[in-house]
Structure 1
Amino acid sequence: MLKLHFNNQYDFRRDASYAAVLGNDCLIRRLALEKRLKVHKGCVNTIAWNSSGEYILSGSDDLKLVVTNPFNGKVAARLPSGHKRNILQAKFLPVSGNRRLISSDMAGTVSYTQLERPQLYGKSLFNCHSRTVYQLQTIFGEPNLFFSSSEDGTVRWYDTRIKESCVEEDCSENVLLDLQFGVNSIDIDPIRSHYLATGTNDSTIRIFDRRMLSECYMRNVSVREYHVPRPANSTGLGLTSHITCLKYDSTGSKLLANVTTSQLIELDCWTDEVECFEEPPIVTAEEPRAPPDSRNMRVRMRGDWSDTGPSAVLDHEATDGRELSRSEQIFREMSTALTNLLRARAEAVYHADEEESSDSRNPDEQPAASGPVEPSSENAAGIQGGPTPSQQMSKCHGYAGHRNQRTAIKQCAYWGDELVVSGSDCGHIFLWRRDSGKLINIVEADRRVVNCVQPHPYHPLLASSGIDYDVKLWAPSLPEDDTEGKDALIAKVTERNKDILEGAGEVITLPPRFILPMIAAFARRRLTDPTEDG
């Protein structure tokens, strides 16, 4: 069957075998690498199947868009994108005959590519966003409409029948939402396409009704909100959890969220229930401020990937005999030095603040009660026939074991109706049974980080990509005898991920241009204030 499948002669749409494969744990545990598509010269940050599953579109740090037939490995098109910085997202527009593509990059540019118009390659650009555009979203059956979400806090909509480019920077014509917080992820309800879900870097998932465009834009009135709490090992620096991916299921009733510093969360969009397979400790708003645990504070230099991949190590850990490269040694030494400086400074600031607040506090003053914010009257009634507002998430984590800290484009997906799949900072693909949350398989798929996981629309075939310069295809073809020891491997990797998450705490990633000024600032402070430590 596998040979027929890879010759593209066996159509699982007309057979129950597709669901049978995904519903069989033994077959999913036999997932193995089938093919590598070496079509890029940089990290592959985005992959997407076309609607028929005949082609796969990929975008990379090499600024190229590539359309590949994964079954024979032939490149159908290699296109200049017009992007100036790393491509983060690329998709086919629906019902366009696989001839229209959209893509976005770290500079905030959105590109619209029409394969039948080569004279416009790299020229149909939208410069509306002012910061990184993380995700693009299309609507089923709509070849001209799509949406973008950006770090600048806006969600924008585009209609290529109106315009195919926009040179005006930070224009206001196509703003659908202005949320004031960076929007890392969006998704459209596949059944009720007027519902749009957003994940923002204030740790909040919101669902909006696009039929209320003017009201949403003016007051950002969401139909529903979910607030992701801070993890228990948070240092109190104010760092929040980001939602790197949102994905509706095929019915539009459930929403899967990949959250940094947390597990995968599955929300029920139509009731107040949340799938809860585990309930880890959570820091709530009612708890008093605690001194920062200096062990949970860490500075990392951008480009330092030592804590990723199957051989990940933290700064303070031994390398188990593995010899570090010169660049890894430099990154590690500088990260350690900067971390020590930050920890000492944070402790000093905390104690100074405590002394100041204790001196000014009224002994008769009672602390103000804190808790979840009540929904506004505009939200309270919700939308008739739709979800109701204001869900304060307290303990609602679902799929555990992976690690999502290092990249802002970590995907998750439903694989059929049976499985949940995600990439991880440990370089593995994770696959859970959807109904129980049981982790049934992990697959080593990258030397550093697996960012993208895209199930084929009809075949039991999974595409993945990450820091490696290729796209990998996976199918259940591993001999059954080779699955022995899988449970031990799962236990080892998940325990290691847990240890790294607990050891990493809250991490600040610094671009190289900030390193020397930061060291100089600390040095000047020590010279002007000899009593200061660190």
Structure 2
Amino acid sequence: GHLGCVNAVAWNSKGTMLISGSDDTRINIWSYSGRKLLHSIDTGHTANIFCTKFIPETSDELVASGAGDAEVRLFNLSRLSGSGSSDNSIIAPSALYQCHARRVKKLAVENGNPNVVWSASEDGTLRQHDFREGTSCPPAGSSHQECRNILLDLRSGSKRSLGDPPKQVLSLKSCDISSTRPHLLLVGGSDAFARLYDRRMLPPLSSCRKRMSPPPCVNYFCPMHLSDRGHPSLHLTHVTFSPDGHEVLLSYSGEHAYLMNVNHAGMNEMQYTSGDVSKMMTYSPIVNGIELQSCVSNVFPNGFPIKKNIAAKLDKCRKLIKYAKKSLDNGIPYYGIEACNEVLNGYSHIIGSALKHECLCTRAALLIKRDWKNDAHMAIRDCYAARKIDNSSYKALFYMSEALSQLGRHEDALDFAVASHSLAPLKSEVAERVENVKKDIALAEAEKNSKANDGASRSDIRGGRILSLSDILYRPEANGDVPQDGSRSDRDDSDYDEELELDFETSISGDEAQDLDSNILHGSLNVRIHRRGDSRDNAGASGPSDSPSSSSQSSRTCYLPEPAVDMKQRFIGHCNIGTDIKQANFLGQRGEYVASGSDDGRWFIWEKRTGRLIKILNGDGSVVNCIQCHPFDFVVATSGIDSTIKIWTPSAPVPSSVADGSAGPETCDVLAAIESNQQKLSRSRNSILLHVSSLTVRPGGQEGWI
């Protein structure tokens, strides 16, 4: 039915119809029971459609679309000529909103509300369109009329890190409204933080003519290890509530998918502050202000002795840990990590502290050995938890030192190595670890001095020579996010790689938000390099470029960082780099499973509670972007770069790489596929250079991103 990439799919509330939007600028309406195309609407959009929705409580007659032309359009299907027409149905929009200045990436609707649709745009605003108040908006910049429909003005809302005040434009990529508590609004965009707002507490709707300070949110959501990175490329591509509204799921570009708890009553055991990250990575005999325990015992957490009726489960846990240790020795850490996950996620309520400590240390060692993206950070979490259980064991300190070395934090690694050696002075591997870290520090210092001397002998751009991209990437002034004591070779593989903002220009005129042609143009490319912290114009495309009022500026000088909610589960295996609309969603009416699309043409299903990978399915010739679960049936709709939509059922005879934890027909390729995805996520600086040298630019200044 479509002639281009299918960027959006959505079910109606009854699950009887499916709506899709595509690069061909058409909306298609499909019958679920008949598996056939009902209507194909020429929307009139002049750029790719990124989002489509049925408007609730309208007998599925009203549908909305948002696109790369910055427009939101509303269509009344009852105005279609004839019935059952599927060929090039032409219908004028019943409402046309043109007040956004950049691409509209996501629409949201409220259950039971037939009058309003919300749109999230890369211009940094989330707008509320009420059909009762008007069916059109003046174009951005019109002088004769103001459009007062901005619910969230985040044109000064992006944060570099949790401890920094919001300053730059937060280009919104996704939004969602809770189905159980519709006053709660979740948004995500061009930084690492998803934000939860209570619509009842937001200020009145405003216009784009005056940029407002970002309103306070109920919660920030961000995995702790991503909260202080400040990388310009780190951003969210999709955010969503769980069916019961108690959890949120975040999907990151260049990262994994993460599950978090919604903070209901203002208190959350998963909350952290901007200072907690460094505390976790800095050695101290005291954790969270509490002196560590000196010993552990094989009793329940409540102090009662082990009962016979759980002896079998505990025996299973011991066997799983034994298997994990064997995996550590034979060089296949993936399955050992899965075994530890089963123990810690499935039996944490019955295992004693001794067994838990052993499992945490074993998993940390396995994560360090596997060394996929952010595995070192996950190992640090395990070591930190193990230290709170027992400070008389050297293992947690030892593995903490190894993880910190992987991140290039050699000085901190040495502190933990020395502490480990003091507890186990006769362990040869511990003494060797101390010496290795000392060598790492010496090498890092030598390289730092060498680069400093080399940099002093070179002429800067002020001396008349234009710096190459390689010069800028490897110049001696270290980025604030990169440890000063880490060597370049160490940092190349670490998660603290320095990143740059690259602006691409072509000689083609036109709005950068529009795809004028799907053909790729090859030609000259002008590259501007911006270090983080360089002064640059961060004004939004709509409204004046003046910053918020002076009173808000003065308040930022005494900015008090808000806490954020940390992850409780990570879902790993897929790859999310190539497109900006990739979804991760809950599956099932109770949301017991999580699924995500991937750049390798597959889609992945995990068990939500444990994070265990359940299935890998081939869903597209190139990339799977969209995953939408049927509201009632055991059915999932997926779409991507292909021009087709695929409907999946549990009984479908489709090969799966993983089936209920057992080996499937493609088992031999499971690890190879996952490892390939992780390598793509962990590209080094050399990959960045190769990527820049081989870029092809689409008309309008885009370089292939959706």
Q: Give the alignment's TM-score, normalised by structure 1.
A: 0.67
Find out whether 1:189 has 2:178 as its counterpart. Answer: yes
Per the TM alignment, residue 477 of structure 1 is displaced from its structure 2 partner at its CA by 2.4
The alpha-carbon distance between structure 1 residues 494 and 99, as it changes in their structure 2 partners (threshold 3 A), is same
Report matched runs for 1:439-478 at 5 Å. 439-478=613-652
The corresponding residue for 2:243 is 250
The 3 A distance-change label for structure 1 pair 440 and 375 is farther
Sort the Cα spacing of 1:193 and 1:511 in 2 relative to 1 into closer, same or farther, 3 A: same
Report deviation, 1:219. Answer: 4.4
In the alignment, structure 1 segments of 5+ residues that lack a partner are 1-38, 303-326, 351-372, 380-388, 516-534
| 1:503 partnered with 2:677 | no
Aligned counterpart, 1:178 = 153
Measure the CA separation in 2 of the matches of 1:422 and 1:376. 37
Counterpart secondary structure, 1:499: helix
| Offset, 1:458 | 1.2
Amino acid at match of 2:174: S
Query: Within 2, Cα distance between the matches of 1:268 and 1:230?
Result: 17
**Structure 2 unpaired stretches of 5+:** 81-89, 156-169, 206-211, 272-340, 346-366, 368-373, 378-406, 410-479, 506-518, 533-555, 702-706
CA 1:453–1:204 in structure 2 vs 1: closer, same or farther (change >3 Å)? same
In the TM superposition, what whole-angstrom CA distance separates every residue of 1:365-424 from its partner, at most 9, and x where no partner exists?
xxxxxxxx99967x9xxxxxxxxx62164x766101111111111111111122101111
**3-state SS, counterpart of residue 446 of structure 1:** coil
The answer to whether the Cα contact below 8 Å between 1:79 and 1:121 also exists between their aligned partners in 2 is: no
Matched, 1:403 2:392: no
Which amino acid in structure 2 is aligned with residue 71 of structure 1?
Answer: S
The answer as to whether partners of 2:261 and 2:565 remain within 8 angstroms in 1 is: no
Aligned equivalent of 1:54? 16
Give the aligned partner of residue 16 of structure 1: none
Q: How big is the shift at 1:74?
A: 2.4
In structure 2, do the counterparts of structure 1 residues 443 and 200 end up closer, same or farther at CA, with 3 Å as the change threshold? same
Quick one: structure 1 residues 243 and 375, their matched pair in 2 at CA, closer, same or farther if it must change by over 3 Å?
farther
Partner residue of 1:168?
Answer: 139
1:229 and 1:106, CA in 2 relative to 1: closer, same or farther beyond 3 A? farther
Distance 2:647 2:92 in 1: 28
Distance 1:291 1:138 in 2: 50
- Size of the aligned set, in residue pairs, is 407
State the alpha-carbon separation in 2 of the partners of residues 101 and 185 from structure 1.
18
Match of 1:476, SS state, is coil
Which deviates the most, 282-291 or 445-454?
Answer: 282-291
8 Å Cα contact 2:261/2:568 also seen in 1: no
CA distance in 2, matches of 1:69, 1:425: 28
Mapped partners of 1:152, 1:82: distance in 2: 21
Query: 2:183 touches 2:200 (CA, 8 Å); kept in 1?
Result: yes
SS in 2 for 1:214: coil
**Partner residue of 1:226?**
221
1:66 to 25, 28, 34: 28
Aligned residue for 1:489, secondary structure, equals helix
Secondary structure (helix, strand or coil) at the match of 2:200 reads: helix
Cα shift readout 1:312-365 (whole Å, capped 9, x = no counterpart): xxxxxxxxxxxxxxx99x98xx9xx98xx98xx989x99xxxxxxxxxxxxxxx
Counterpart CA distance in 2 for 1:122 and 1:514 is 26
Pick closer, same or farther for the CA change 1:480–1:205 going to 2, 3 Å.
closer
How far off is 1:287 after superposition? 5.1
Query: 3-state DSSP class of the match of 1:497?
Result: helix
Q: Are positions 1:145 and 2:120 aligned together?
A: no
Residue of structure 2 in register with 1:361 after alignment: none
Instruction: Choose which of 179, 184, 207 in structure 1 pairs with 2:196.
Output: 207
The one-character-per-residue Cα deviations of 1:252-302 (angstroms, maximum 9, x if unpaired) are 110001111211111111224289988633579775367877898899999
- Cα shift at 1:441: 0.6
> 2:4 touches 2:643 (CA, 8 Å); kept in 1?
yes
Please give the secondary structure, in 2, of the residue aligned with 1:156. Answer: strand
Tell me by how many angstroms 1:149 deviates: 0.5
Match of 1:105 in 2: 67
* Matching residue's letter, 1:399: F
Give distance in 1, aligned partners of 2:38 and 2:655: 38
Render the CA deviation track for 1:196-225: whole Å, top value 9, x for unaligned. Answer: 111121221111111122189654111111
* Change in 2 beyond 3 A, CA 1:64/1:375: farther
Q: Distance in 1 between matches of 2:609 and 2:577?
A: 26
Shift of 1:178: 0.9
SS in 2 for 1:490: helix
Q: Partner amino acid for 1:141?
A: G
CA pair 392-255 structure 1, distance change in 2 beyond 3 A: closer
When the two chains are superposed, the root-mean-square deviation of aligned CA atoms in Å is: 3.9
| Offset from partner CA, 1:85-113 (integer Å, 9 cap, x none) | 00000010111111000100011100011
Whole-angstrom CA distance in 1 between matches of 2:682 and 2:481: 23
Aligned to 2:577, what secondary structure does the other structure show? coil
1:266 maps to 259
d(CA) in 2 for partners of 1:481, 1:124: 44
Contact 1:244 1:258 in 2 (8 A): yes
Corresponding letter in the other structure for 2:697: P
**Bigger proportion of residues as strand:** 1
Corresponding residue for residue 45 of structure 2: 83
Distance 1:470 1:437 in 2: 29
Q: 1:125 aligned to 2:96?
A: yes
Aligned residue type for 1:435? R
- Residues 391 and 231 of structure 1: CA distance in aligned 2, closer, same or farther (over 3 Å): closer
User: Alignment partner of 2:600: what SS?
Assistant: coil
CA distance in 1, matches of 2:270, 2:557: 18
Contact 1:402 1:494 in 2 (8 A): yes
For residues 450-493 of structure 1, give each alpha carbon's deviation from its aligned partner in whole angstroms, at most 9, with x where no partner exists: 01011111111111100001111111225599863344333221
Q: Provide the C-alpha distance between the structure 2 equivalents of 1:409 and 1:346, rounded to a whole number of angstroms.
A: 26
CA distance in 1, matches of 2:91, 2:202: 32
Aligned counterparts of 2:647 and 2:655: Cα–Cα separation in 1: 21
Q: CA deviation at 1:229?
A: 6.5
In 1: Cα distance, 2:558 partner to 2:77 partner: 47
Alpha-carbon offset, residue 165 of structure 1: 1.9
TM-score, normalised by the number of residues in structure 2: 0.52
Whichever residue aligns with residue 157 of structure 1, its letter is Q
Deviation at 1:166, TM superposition (A): 1.6
Percent of pairs with identical residues: 29
Secondary structure at 1:491 match in 2: helix
Instruction: Tell me the equivalent position of 1:288.
Output: 483
- Write the deviation string for residues 473-530 of structure 1: whole angstroms up to 9, x where unpaired: 1112255998633443332211110122223666666634699xxxxxxxxxxxxxxx
Which residue number in structure 1 is paired with residue 7 of structure 2?
Answer: 45
Determine helix, strand or coil for the equivalent of 2:182: coil
- Offset from partner CA, 1:100-141 (integer Å, 9 cap, x none): 001000111000111123486236210010001100000011
2: CA distance between counterparts of 1:375 and 1:403? Answer: 39
What's the counterpart of residue 456 of structure 2? none
1:105–1:492 distance in 2 versus 1, CA, 3 Å: same
Which residue of the partner structure matches residue 107 of structure 2? 136
Query: Which residue number corresponds to residue 390 of structure 1?
Result: 563
The offset of 1:49, in angstroms, is 0.8
Structure holding more helix per residue: 2
CA distance in 2, matches of 1:46, 1:157: 20
Question: Which amino acid in the other structure matches residue 208 of structure 1?
Answer: Y
C-alpha spacing 1:481/1:61, structure 2 compared with 1 (3 Å): closer
* Matched letter for residue 442 of structure 1: I
CA contact under 8 A between 1:198 and 1:206: conserved in structure 2? yes
**Residue 317 of structure 1: aligned partner:** none
